[in-house]
Structure 1
Amino acid sequence: MTGMHIGYDLSFTHTEGAWARQGSWSGTDFPDIRMYMELARTAERAGVGMLFFGDGSGIPSTWRGSIEPAVEWGIQWPRHDMSPVIAAMSTVTERIGFGLTYSSTFMHPFYVARLLNSLDHVTNGRIAFNVVASTRGADAANYGFNQLMDHGLRYERMEEFVAVCRALWDSVAPDAIVRDRSTGRFADPSKVHPIDHEGKFFTVKGPLASVPSPQHHPLVVQAGNSPRGITASARLADLVFGFGGSLAGQQRHRDLLDQALRCEGRDPARVGILWATQVIVGRTTAEALARRDSVHEFWNEEAVATYLSHNAGYDFSTLPESFRLAELRDEILAANASPAGLVGSLVAELGENHTMSRGEFFAHGRGHATGLDHSIVGDPDTVADALQDNFAATGARGGYMFSCPAAMPSGFGEISELLLPELRRRGALAPAYPGATLRENLAV
C-alpha cells in the first residue's frame, strides 16, 4: 500500500465568483501568469504531485441556447489554452508535474503528440496528457460539428487517438539521437520510422519530427465513469481521474476498473485513481463553514441552470413539471450528451423509476453545481480523518485531485499550509518527488 498522491485542479480558480471572494488576488486577476507561478511555487513546497487544468473551448450556451448567462456570471468562462502557462510555471519549479487537457473528439493526434513532446522537454519530464471525449455542444460548434458525436464513437476515437500519439512518440527511438561531434552525424536513420497509420478516424504518416522527450511517453490521464469510459481507461490510461461523490459510487468505479484492467492483461495494483474531491479547510471548523457559506451565496438560479446544462450537454430548461429519472436519463443519452454528473448521481441514489419535480431537480442541482453537497469541510484534523477513511475504503491506490471553490489563492493556500502538513505528519501521503519525472512521482 502506498500513500496518497495529491493533485490540485486549477480549472476553475477564476470562475463562478472565486475571483471576488474574500481572500482572492489583490491587484491582479486571471490570466496574469504571475498568479500561477506563485501558486506553483507554493504547491511544490507542500509536495503536491501535479497541477491539473481541465479545458473547454466553448462558452456555455446549452441553457436556453444562449451564452449570455455564462458571460454575465462567469460560469465556466473564460477558458484559455493553458500550455503557455504551464511552460511559465515550470521555469519557477523543479519537481511538481502539470496536467494538460485536450479533446480527442475534436483535436488531431499529430498536433497534440508534437505539442506534448515539446512541453515534456520544457518541463524536463513533468507533463501529463488528460485526454477527454467531449460532450459539450458549445465546444462542438467551434470545431464545425452541428451535433455531438455518438457516445460509443467518441471513445473509439479516443482509443485510436492515444494509440496514434504513442506510435508517434515511439517513431523516434530513445537512442536514435547520436550527436557525434567528430563526424557531424546527428541521428541514426535506422531508428526513425514512419508509423503509416490508417484507421477509422485518422490517417497519419509520421514519424514525429521531434527529439524523444524525457518521459518518452507523457503520462496519460483519463476520466470515464460510464461502462464504455471505464473500458477506455483500462485500455489507455496510466492514471485515472475519478469522480467523487458517494463512497458507493467510488467503490463501484474501482471494482469495474479493476475488472476491465484484468481483461486487458494489466495489473490493477499499478493503476491509481485520483478522486476529484472538493475541499474547504480552515484553522477551525467554524472558519471553514464560513468559507462554505460564502460560496453558496454566489449561486443564483440562472448560474446553477447554466452550469448544469453545459456540463450535461443537455438543455434543462426543457424539463417538464414532473418526470421519471429514467426518462430524463434516456433523453440525455438519445441526444449523445452525458448522463453522468447530477442525473447519474440521482439515478444511483433514488432509482431510475423515481418521479421528481422540476423544482426538486434544480434544488439538487444547486448542491451539485456548487459542489457543496459532496465537499469535505472542516479543520485539518476533520478533513484528514475523512480522507484517510475514504482512501482505505476505495482501495488505497492513487489519491485525490483537490478542487476548492473558495477564493483563489487563499483556498489552495490553506490546503497547502494546513491540510497537507497534517496528512504528512500522519504518514498518509506518498513520498514527495521520489523520482525525476512525473511518471515516477505518481507511480502507485
Structure 2
Amino acid sequence: MTYQMSLALDLSFSHHQGRWRLPGSWAGYNFPDLRMYKELALAAERGCMDMIFFGDGTGIPSTYGDSIDAAVRWGIGAPRQDMSPYIAALAQETSHIGFGLTYSSTFLPPFYVARLLNSLDHITGGRMAFNIVTSSRGADAANFGFDELMDHDARYRRMEEFVEVCTALWRSVGADAYLWDRETGQVADASKVAPIDHVGEFFTVKGPLNSVPSPQQAPVLIQAGGSPRGIQASSRFADVIFGGAFKNEHRAEHRKALDAALVESGRDPEKVGILWDLQIIVGQTAEEAQARKNQLQGLLPREAAAAQMSHNSGLDFAKLPDRFTLAELTEEVIAKNASPVTFRDLIAEHGADHEMTKDELIDSAWRTATGYDHTVAGSAEQVADYLEESYEASGSRGGFMIAHPQVTPRDLIDVVGLLIPELQRRGRFRTAYEGSTLRETLGVPRFE
C-alpha cells in the first residue's frame, strides 16, 4: 500500500540568517508585511499543503559576548512578531490550509493560551494547531522575569501540567452546551459547563472556560521534544510530533523510541505521525538546485553563526577554550539547563569523546546556521526520491515540515510547482482537501 505523506511549511525563520537578500526573495517587501504572508498562504493552499507553521522566540539572542549586538546586526533569531493576528487575517484569505502557532508553557498561563486558541480556532473555522514548547534560551527567560532557566525536567513537568489544564478547559464546556434557544431565552445547558478545579505543582485554575466550544474543540497539539524526557512527554498528549533529526538512521531511532513511549502511555503509535524538519531546494535540474544551494555559503559571517549557536546552547562561543570534547560541551549545556540535544548530531557523527577546536565548532555552527549542511537540493524527481526513502525509513507516518525556505517566495513556488506535482503523480500526496478542519486534513483523531 502507498501511504500519503503530510507536508507543512515552516515560516519561523523565512527572513532570518540572510535569506531576505538572496535572488528570488521579495523586492519591495520587508518583514513583517502582511502581503508577503498572504502570497505564501495562497501558494501553499494551491499546493494542498497541510499547514503553515510559525515557531517563535521572545528574546533577542544575547549569550554571545553577553550582548545582543551580533544578533541584531545580522538578523539572528530576530525580529519576530506574535503571529496570532496574522493568522486571523490569513484565515480570511484561505479556506483549507491549517495554521500552527507556538507558545511557551514555561512562561505563559494556560487559561490565557487555551482561551486564545479557542478564539483562533473559531476564526479559522477549525484550522488551528498549537505547538507547545519548553523554553531553553536565557534571552526568552529574561523577558518573563527569570534570572536563570528553569530546570530541564521541571520544564517538562510544567509543560505536562500546562497541557493537562488546557485540555481540561477545552473539555469544561460540552460541544453541545450552547443552545441559543430563541423560544425560552436559554443560552446554554448549565449541566454541560463545569469548573475544572485544578490544583497542581505549577498551576491553580478554577475554570471553566468562558467561551463557546470551537469547531475542533481543541487545536491539534504539536510537540518537538527530542531528548528521552521530551519523547516521554510528547507521547502522552501530542497529536503530531515535530522531529529534528536530519539522517534516516536517527529518524528511525526517534520513531522507535516514540512508538515504545506511546505504547507505554496507552496510545496507538499508528495514529501519531512525525513531521520531520527538512530544508530543500528544488530546481528544474540538479545542477540548478546545487548552484542555488551554493549561494547559502555567502549568507552569514562567522560572528552571526556563533551568536546563533551561543543562543541555542547557552554557551558563550566568544569565551570557549581553544580545545574541548563534545561531552564536555554537553555537560556545560546541561548545567545551564539549556537543551541537552544541542550537539546531538555532532556527537552522532563523531562520538561524545571527539575533541574539537573552537574554530572547528564555529565552522560547524556556520554550516547549521546557513542550512548548508542539511539542505537537500535536486530536481523534483531527486527530492521526491529522497522524501519517499526517508518517509518509509521512519515508519510511513507523518511527513515533512519544509523548514525555513532559503528564498521566499521562490522556494515555495518551486515546491508547489515542481515537487508537489511529482509527489502527486506517485500517489504520495493529496490532489485535493477532503476535510474542513486541520484534524481531518492531518488524519488526527477527533478531540473527545
TM-score normalised to the size of structure 1? 0.98
Q: Residue 280 of structure 1 contacts residue 378 of structure 1 at CA under 8 Å; is this kept in 2? A: yes
Deviation of the 1:430 alpha carbon: 4.5
Deviations 1:37-73 (A, max 9, x none): 1111111010100000000001111111110011111
1:24, CA displacement in angstroms? 1.2
Paired position in structure 2 for 1:362: 362
Matched residue, 1:250: 251
Q: Is the 8 A contact 2:308 2:369 kept in 1?
A: yes
Q: Does 1:191 align with 2:192?
A: yes
Provide the rounded CA distance (Å) in 1 between the counterparts of 2:392 and 2:170: 36
The residue number in structure 2 matching 1:132 is 133
Conserved 8 A contact 2:125-2:215: yes
Corresponding residue number in structure 2 for 1:40: 41
**Matches of 1:331 and 1:429, distance apart in 2:** 43
Match of 1:118 in 2: 119
- Which 10-residue stretch deviates more, 344-353 or 146-155? 344-353
Aligned residues: 443
| Residue number in structure 1 paired with 2:347 | 347
1:427 partner amino acid: G
Residue aligning to 1:295:
296
Pairwise mapping of residues 209-224 of structure 1 onto structure 2 (< 5 A)?
209-224=210-225
- CA distance in structure 2 between the partners assigned to 1:426 and 1:115 by the alignment: 40
Alignment partner, residue 400 of structure 2: 400
Q: Which runs of 5+ in 2 are unaligned?
A: none
Report 1:304-383 matches (<5 A). 304-341=305-342, 343-383=343-383
1:51–1:204 CA distance, 2 compared to 1 (3 A): same
Matches of 2:245 and 2:334 in 1, distance apart? 22
**Distance of 2:275 and 2:412 partners within structure 1:** 17
Amino acid at match of 1:397: R
Letter in 1 for 2:373: D
Instruction: Measure, in 2, the Cα distance between the counterparts of 1:340 and 1:416.
Output: 33
Structure 1 residue 384 and structure 2 residue 378: aligned? no
Contact 1:61 1:67 in 2 (8 A): yes
Q: Distance in 1 between matches of 2:22 and 2:360?
A: 28
Moved more, 398-407 or 185-194: 398-407
1:314-339 C-alpha deviation (Å, 9 max, x unpaired): 22222211111111111110110113
- Do 1:280 and 1:404's aligned partners in 2 also have CA atoms closer than 8 Å? no
* CA distance, structure 1, for counterparts of residue 340 and residue 189 of structure 2: 50
Greater shift, 238-247 or 198-207, is seen at 238-247
1:330-389 Cα offsets, whole Å, 9 max, x none, are 111011011323x11111111111111112212222222222211110111111111111
Q: Distance between the aligned counterparts of 1:339 and 1:312, measured in 2?
A: 8
CA–CA distance in structure 1, aligned partners of residues 366 and 308 of structure 2: 9
CA distance in 2, matches of 1:154, 1:378: 40
2:437 is matched with 437
Question: What's the CA shift for 1:432?
Answer: 4.0
Provide closer, same or farther for how the CA distance between residues 430 and 155 of structure 1 changes in structure 2, counting only shifts above 3 A.
farther
Q: Is the 8 A contact 1:295 1:405 kept in 2?
A: no
Quote the residue 2:178 is aligned against. 177
Rounded to whole Å, the distance in 2 between the matches of 1:319 and 1:246 is: 28
Q: Is the 8 A contact 1:404 1:411 kept in 2?
A: no
Answer yes or no: is the 8 Å Cα contact 1:291–1:406 preserved in 2. Answer: no
Residue deviations 1:86-137 (CA, integer Å, cap 9, x gap)? 1111101110000000000011100000000000000000000000000011
Look up the equivalent residue of 1:327 and give its one-letter code: E
Assess if the C-alpha contact under 8 Å between 1:96 and 1:438 holds in 2.
Answer: yes
Q: Which ranges of structure 1 fall in alignment gaps of 5 or more residues?
A: none
- In the alignment, the residues of structure 2 paired with residue 151 and residue 316 of structure 1 have an alpha-carbon distance, to the nearest angstrom, of 22
Name the structure 2 match of 1:414: 414
Equivalent residue, structure 1, for 2:156: 155
Inter-partner Cα distance in structure 2 for 1:41 and 1:212: 28
After TM superposition, the structure 1 stretch with the greater mean CA deviation from structure 2, 390-399 or 432-441, is: 432-441
DSSP 3-state at the match of 1:180: coil
Cα separation, 2, equivalents of 1:378 and 1:2: 23
2:51 and 2:99 in contact (8 A); partners too: yes
Q: CA RMSD in A?
A: 1.1
TM-score (norm: length of structure 2): 0.97
Label 1:311 to 1:431 Cα distance change in 2 as closer, same or farther (>3 A): farther
Q: Which amino acid aligns with 1:353?
A: D
